[in-house]
Amino acid sequence: MWLGPEEVLLAGALWVTERANPFFLLQRRRGHGKGGGLTGLLVGTLDVVLDSSARVAPYRILHQTQDSQVYWAVACGSSRKEITKHWEWLENNLLQTLSIFDNEEDITTFVKGKIHGIIAEENKNEQPQSEEDPGKFKEAELKMRKQFGMPEVEKLVNYYSCSYWKGRVPRQGWLYLTVNHLCFYSFLLGKEVTLVIQWVDVTQLEKNATLLFPECIKVSTRDSELYFSMFLNINETFKLMEQLANIAMRQLLDNESFLQDKSLPKPRKPLKNISALKRDLDARAKNECYRATFRLPKDECLDGHTDCTLWTPFNKMHIPGQMFVSNNYICFASKAEEACHLIIPLREVTIVEKADSSSVLPSPLSISTKSKMTFFFANLKDRDFLVQRISDFLQRTPSKKPCSIEREWKWNLADPGCEEVPELPSSSPLAVSPTSALSNRPVNFCAGEVPTASQGLLKLFRRNSEELLGPKGAKEKMKEESWNIHFSEYGRGMCMYRTAKTRGLVQKGIPENLRGELWLLFSGAWNEMVTHPGYYADLVEKSMGKYSLATEEIERDLHRSMPEHPAFQNELGIAALRRVLTAYAFRNPTIGYCQAMNIVTSVLLLYCNEEEAFWLLVALCERMLPDYYNTRVVGALVDQGIFEELTREYLPQLSEKMQDLGVISTISLSWFLTLFLSVMPFESAVVIVDCFFYEGIKFILQVSLAILDANMEKLLQCCDEGEAMTILGRYLDNVVNRQSISPPIPHLHALLTSGDDPPLEIDIFELIKTSYEKFSNLKADDIEQMRFKQRLKVIQSLEDTAKKSVVRAVSSDIGFSIEELEELYVVFKAKYLMSCYWGNNRAAAARRDQSLPYLEQYRIDMEQFKELFISLTPWSCGAHTPVLAGRLFRLLDENRDCLINFKEFVTGMSGMYHGDLTEKLKVLYKLHLPPALNPEETESALEATSYFTEDVTTEVSPFVSELDFCLHCESQETQEDKERRSENGPEKEEKGTSPQDYRYYLRMWAKEKESKKETIKDLPKMSQEQFIELCKTLYNMFSEDPVEQELYHAIATVASLLLRIGEVGKKFSNRPMRKSEDCKANNTQDPVSEEESPTSEQSQNSAVEQQPQADHEDKTCGDAQPEKTQQENQTLGDGSGEGQGSPLQLLSDDETKDDMSMSSYSMVSTGSLQCEDIADDTVLVGCEGSSSAARYGSTIDTDWSISFEQILASMLTETALVNYFEKKVNILQKIKDQKKVERQFSSSSDYELSSVSG
């Protein structure tokens, strides 16, 4: 590229001049290219190791004048081709002009001005988005692309100088982190190391220090472990690697590809060597941390944060911490973790003003809210800018107050003993909600038709209890009073100060009347509900009556949701549960419905109305328990891995025992997915839910550890998994809540695990207290870090399981070994993923549906298949290979959706690699018949005749399109049959509203499993055009073979022989064809057949006119090849009949076979011709008959055809052909070579680079 002219004092140091003229020098850097000796090795090493010269291009052009000792660098290039282009431009455009100048200073001034002009012109044409990246970073990105053969769509995020440990020797070089790859390059004293790893292949990332290695980063894949060390800032590097690996895992998990956030604010001053992508990722990390800390909606973006102090009126102190400002919220977090948290929604803010500074309150800022609370922040560094930003956000905040905000928490303040809501016995007819998800009218929530639209089920179904007037009722009122005092001191609603005292109150149990309110506040669900008024009612209306797999599963589980509670023994509770679950499945079809969601939602409905329960479910599924309820419960498996890791850390003795018994994986899923609601008495488990909404998953983990710790002695003495499960089950069944005012609900699990001895009861509040005392040092940040580590492990494990399932499913029908299939699956999946992030569009990502069976999840299109075919096929055909690949793709794509799955892919590969000569030829034969062969491709068949004989002429057969039409009609009929079947079936899917049923795939697989034995007799005959296409393919296939001359001779012999056999078949089939045509005219009324019949008659007449000429020919080859003659006789007898696609083909198969086989047999075996005569006629008809027809410009030879049996018999006579098709090819070696080719380096490099694996 052109450079702004820079002064160079020593032009000869480390450079070699290759070209020169009076004004310019073209130089190459020592060590680049061949030769160079020791000096070259040292320079090459310096260029890689040292930061100052790592970006030096290997070629440059200097401007010089004769009398001056100063040189000016005007251009540089990474390849000889690039620098030569600049050199030629200078010679052609400047040399003649410069010779006019008399003064050397004028020459230099002119050159510098010209180069600056060129650079300005180029910059003007550059894309504006690239301006964000600094120049040095752009150079690094260009070098990365060239070094590792990456396309332009692969974006570099950052690069670092480090050492890669190869054995015990460190290789100093550069680590490039791109969106999809980790790359490393080192050149040290002539030895080169190049590594390319996809992030989706990374199974583990660790930052550790060992005796062997200094502080380093360990990158593990399925095949290797790589160590990188000597980073300038190892923490920054490791954090970025984690983010990129996490994005890759997210892509595997839910098909989300990386898209750069264009809405990020631009930095006020340029950041040195930081790309826009790096800024994007840093902002994402901060946003995720911000949202998780304050439980904010997923679309909230942090604008900035600053240090400050907050005046807390409850203890009259200034608490140091940080203020966070985003689009819709102002938040505060104290430096001491439990001191104070504060969330102020901007929708609640009324006044923001700057107060007067004083020595006590420097730079104060006061914020007032609608709830009459005022918050004082002080010690703000840039108060004016902050006020301006908050003002900007306030202006964007909708001024209209949503109707749901007007509703205060008054319904929670009612005295539990004075409820005016009538009680509903289980037989109450009050329920007006739908009794079915598929029938009944939508419910109008705003009109208050359904009681659950305005209040929780517990109020509707609370039975008169003496407990309300006894000690438990008094205890409950004391709790409520404690919370009311807390509200008066710390505030109520979203703007409440959240302190250690708040946590202490939650640990003692939230009063039933406040439970719904506080769950909504602590989870953050309240924010989403008030900003989306009417959303839930609209969803219910839209989803009512819609059928899907999720609604079917919901209906099945409705009556299994807390059946022991009276609220769900009534249709009112069941209908409310149905609406909430169906609305969520409609909102989030990726999750839809998962077992355990019904149990959690039923508890939410007891304390909240339907809309509140819905938004709590949203907060649970999408923020607090991410990925828990998807099809593979990935989130629960991730937290299970964290639980195992924490058990090893805190309870090492028990961990080993539990690992041996395999208990942790069994117990933890039921504990985590239902938040202990399915394994603990309801009154106790709901206290766990209280603490969970305040603390998050951290609390569930610490309670789980406390349960194991309490049962350690018994568990250590267990002999098997069943005994351990019984011990834990009995323990949990007897965790009681003695303070509950609700009547006890029988716990079904307890009835199954009760023993003979009277159980020892455990108080739930004692269990919670113990968990905080022993395991409260768990940190939310540490858990997130562990989640990342476990997510890598879990998703890669699931991918391995998917691979094994797919391989096992296809292995029975395919000739490849399990090892070969696994390698092919890896290559197939890699090709799919490559299209996701390197394709021109995102269609590939849209093709993957996680709800589909594993076999259908990865599918590739024709272009991807061609790339794989070219690298893996044993039939290399040179330039003809892509054509053959396209034909095989069309043959494999049976459902015509232009995509093939893994089974179809390996079926095609297996046909080329496995089986005997007959099977391989059968595949090759099918590739030259429709639908594999396009009608357009046969147009070029005429050009191929020169390969074999000068006497055969062909034109495009019109019957190819006729056959295509027949196939199209069949596919239409098949589709109509499917539609009729679906209409007559018991269940009708509404078009576009639900995914395909799993039963469809079961039926599809059942059909695939049916044995369809295809014999060579079933293969249709091949027309002359198709046969010549086959010969072209064979000719190309042999072009690079070691014995190509023998193969050329063999295929020429076979092709000539088959052309003559086809002529004889045409000769003997004229009369029967005419008879069958008459029969067809009487019995079938096919418009296409009638349309084509005139052509058939013309060609038959021309063939009959040629026949007398052939009959009068002398014998010339009667004694030649006596062995072949017998085989030719057999093949003629088998089927030298009608041409492919002729009118006869439109009759039934039985009619055709009977008619043709009898006529052929009678013609050959009546004694009118001997075997030798047939051989003679074959040669004569093939030679002279055809040549005379060619001379007189005969029309299309539509009657010529050849059968598969005839091709097979002819090829068996040539040893070279038999050996070629029966030789074994190792596909594993092909796969290995293909992986190397995937990362080929730029061909413009002057020295070869060898890919060195870790």
Rounded to the nearest angstrom, the gap between the alpha carbon of residue 1135 and the centroid of all alpha carbons in its chain is 51
Reported confidence tier of residue 846, pLDDT bands at 50, 70, 90: low
The predicted-structure confidence for 273-289, as pLDDT tens digits, reads as follows: 567 788 888 888 899 99
> What type of residue is 472?
K
Q: Assign 352 to helix, strand or coil.
A: strand
575 pLDDT tier (thresholds 50, 70, 90): very high
1175 Cβ neighbours under 8 A, 6+ residues apart = 1117, 1118, 1120, 1121, 1124, 1125, 1128
- Which among 334, 515, 504 has a CA at the least distance from the CA of 412? 515
The closest of 625, 632, 628 to 697, measured between CA atoms, is: 625
Position 219 pLDDT exceeds 70: yes
Token readout for 1106 is 């040629």
pLDDT class of 181 with cuts at 50, 70, 90: very high
What counts of helices (H) and strands (E) characterise the chain?
A: 50, 23
Please tell me which residue, 465 or 475, carries the higher pLDDT value: 475
Q: Which two tokens stand for residue 315?
A: 């203890």
Q: Are 1176 and 1077 spatial neighbours (Cβ–Cβ below 8 Å)?
A: no
Does a cis peptide bond (omega within 30 degrees of 0) precede residue 931?
A: yes
Strand intervals (E) in 70-209: 71-77, 156-166, 169-178, 181-188, 191-198, 202-208
Exposed/middle/buried for residue 100 (C-beta within 10 Å: 0-12, 13-18, 19+)? exposed
Angle at CA 836, nearest 5°, toward 835 and 838? 60
Q: What are the C-alpha distances in Å from 1152 to residues 942, 1136, 1137, 1149? A: 29, 12, 9, 5
Structural contact between residues 887 and 933, judged by C-beta atoms closer than 8 angstroms:
yes
Q: Which of 527, 501, 293, 498 is CA-nearest to residue 402?
A: 527
Of residues 380, 373, 327, 328, the one with CA closest to residue 355: 380
CA gap 542, 585 in Å, rounded: 12
| Mean pLDDT confidence for 1168-1176 | 32
978 has a pLDDT exceeding 80: no
The three-state secondary structure class of 227 is strand
Instruction: Indicate the pLDDT class of residue 217, thresholds 50, 70 and 90.
Output: very high
Q: Write out pLDDT tens, residues 343-356.
A: 999 999 999 998 88
Between strands 762-763 and 735-736, the pairing is parallel
Residue 1194, phi then psi, degrees to nearest 5: -65, 155
SS3 state at 171: strand
712-734: average pLDDT: 90
Among residues 2, 150, 188, 162, the alpha carbon closest in space to that of 82 is found at 2
How distant is the alpha carbon of residue 828 from its chain centre? 13
Cβ–Cβ < 8 Å for 876, 1037:
yes
Judged against a pLDDT cut of 80, whether residue 1183 lies above it is answered with no
190: left (phi over 0), alpha (psi -120 to 50) or beta: left
* Whole-number Å distance between alpha carbons of 890 and 899: 10
Instruction: Give me the mean pLDDT over the 13-38 stretch.
Output: 76
The pLDDT value recorded for residue 132 is 44
Per residue in 694-710, pLDDT (tens digit) is: 999 999 999 999 999 99
Distance separating alpha carbons of residues 1184 and 1235, to the nearest angstrom? 53
* Mean pLDDT rounded to a whole number for the chain: 75
Q: How confident is the model at residue 712 (pLDDT cuts 50, 70, 90)?
A: very high
- pLDDT at position 111 over 70: yes
Buried (b) or exposed (e) across 1095-1117, using 16+ Cβ within 10 A?
Answer: bbeebbebbeebeeebeeeeeee
Distance from C-alpha of 709 to C-alpha of 649, rounded to nearest angstrom? 12
Contact assessment for residue 83 and residue 59, using Cβ atoms and an 8 Å cutoff: yes
Per the listing, tokens 């027309």 go with 1023
User: Does the pLDDT at position 175 exceed 80?
Assistant: yes
Record the tokens describing residue 584, joined without a space.
């969520």
Residue 199 is given by DSSP the state: G
Q: Would you report the helix, strand and coil content of the chain in percent, each value rounded to 5?
A: 55, 10, 35
List pLDDT tens digits, range 449-472.
688 888 888 888 765 555 566 787
Determine the length of the chain.
Answer: 1254
Which positions ≥6 away from 1136 have C-beta within 8 Å? Answer: 1061, 1062, 1064, 1065, 1066, 1068, 1069, 1160, 1201, 1202, 1203, 1206
Instruction: Compute the distance between CA of residue 643 and CA of residue 636 in angstroms, rounded to an integer.
Output: 10
In this predicted structure, the answer to whether residue 61 has a pLDDT above a threshold of 80 is: yes
E strand spans, 1171-1215: 1201-1202
Q: Is the pLDDT of residue 514 over 50?
A: yes
Extract the tokens encoding 559: 């009556």
Which SS3 state, helix, strand or coil, does residue 442 take?
coil
For the CA atoms of 1236, 1241, 1247, 1253, what is the dihedral angle to 10 degrees?
Answer: -40
SS3 category, 198: strand
- Measured between alpha carbons, how far is 56 from 79 in angstroms, rounded to an integer? 12
Q: Which three-class secondary structure string do you get for 876-903? A: CCHHHHHHHHHHHHHHHCCCCCCCECHH
Position 342 confidence tier, pLDDT thresholds 50, 70, 90 = very high
Rounded to an integer, what distance in angstroms lies between the CA atom of residue 756 and that of residue 749?
16
Q: One-letter amino acid identity for 1250?
A: S
Note the pLDDT of residue 1101: 39
- Residue showing tokens 């000539």: 1056
Angle among Cα 727, 732, 737 to the nearest 5 degrees reads 150
Listed as own residue / partner, the contacts of 645-653 with beta carbons closer than 8 Å and 24 or more positions apart are 645/786, 645/790, 646/701, 646/705, 646/778, 647/705, 647/708, 650/705, 650/709, 650/774, 650/775, 651/705, 651/708, 651/709, 651/712, 653/712, 653/716
Give the bridge partners for 367, in sequence order: 352, 375
Q: Average pLDDT, stretch 126-138? A: 56
Nearest CA-CA partner of 669 in 697, 700, 637: 637
Give percent of the chain with pLDDT exceeding 90.
29
Closest CA to 1099 of 1074, 1129, 1127: 1074
Query: Across the beta sheet with 225-229, what order do the strands follow?
Result: 191-198, 181-188, 169-178, 156-166, 225-229, 216-221, 202-208
* 365 touches 352 (CB < 8 A): yes
Tell whether pTM > 0.85: no
How much is the pLDDT for 336?
84
